[in-house]
Amino acid sequence: MATRVNIITGDVLLAAGIKHLLRNLFGIDATAMTVPPESGAAEQSCELTITDCNCFATNAAYFVPRRNRVLLITDGEMPTDQGIATLNRRDTEDAIIERLADVVRRSCATADDSNQLSQREIEVLRFVAQGLLNKEIADRLNISINTVLSHRKNITAKLGIKSASALSVYAIINGYI
């Protein structure tokens, strides 16, 4: 599966440069946009999103939940303890290319695993598709409601599907029911 990359920034020159590097060095055709996608295939199938600090700050609600799939282009060194990969635009060309290669390699390695549901998440998904309430799911699986909510949050994050009806369709299409 090809790595899907979105570049989200208002800086057209930055987007063009990153697109050029990705295409020429890694054979990846990235999609450039000025604002994050509302929803849909572009967002759901994206393994890596590259953005700058201004766009990240403006659209934090979009980027923070996806921080493990974000490459943040910075103007200097930043702490990386928040799970966000950074790329310092002031580094040398070789350092930038090496860092970009590392992030792309990691994205390719985890792209196939990132949407895989755990066995427990599949059980929760089945019950959601059957129309059970969170309390009923918790009782059937002998877990707390908070654990059910955590599983549902993880399912939504992995699949990019928010509604119970859409989760039901997904479960049916993928043979979980």
Residue in 60, 54, 46 with CA at minimum distance from that of residue 11: 54
Rounded to whole angstroms, the Cα distance separating 99 from 86 reads 9
Confidence (pLDDT) at 149:
93
* Among the listed residues 115, 97, 95, the one whose alpha carbon sits nearest the alpha carbon of residue 105: 97
Here the tokens at position 46 are: 């994206």
> Range with the lowest mean pLDDT among 9-18, 75-84, 101-110?
75-84
Q: Are 150 and 29 in contact (CB under 8 A)?
A: no
CB 28 within 8 A of CB 104: yes
CB-based contacts of 12, cutoff 8 Å, min separation 6: 32
Local confidence band at 41 (pLDDT 50, 70, 90 cut-offs): very low
More confident residue, 78 or 68: 68
Over residues 130-173, the pLDDT tens digits come to 999 999 999 999 999 999 999 999 888 888 788 888 888 888 87
- Among 36-40, 65-69, 70-74, 159-163, name the most confident range: 70-74
Which percentage of the chain shows pLDDT scores above 90?
A: 37
pLDDT at 161: 80
Is residue 109 classed as helix, strand or coil in its secondary structure?
A: helix
Tokens of 136: 């009923």
The least confident of 41-45, 102-106, 116-120 is 41-45
pLDDT at 106: 79
pTM comes to 0.59
pLDDT exceeds 60 at position 114:
no
pLDDT tier for residue 1 given thresholds of 50, 70 and 90: very low
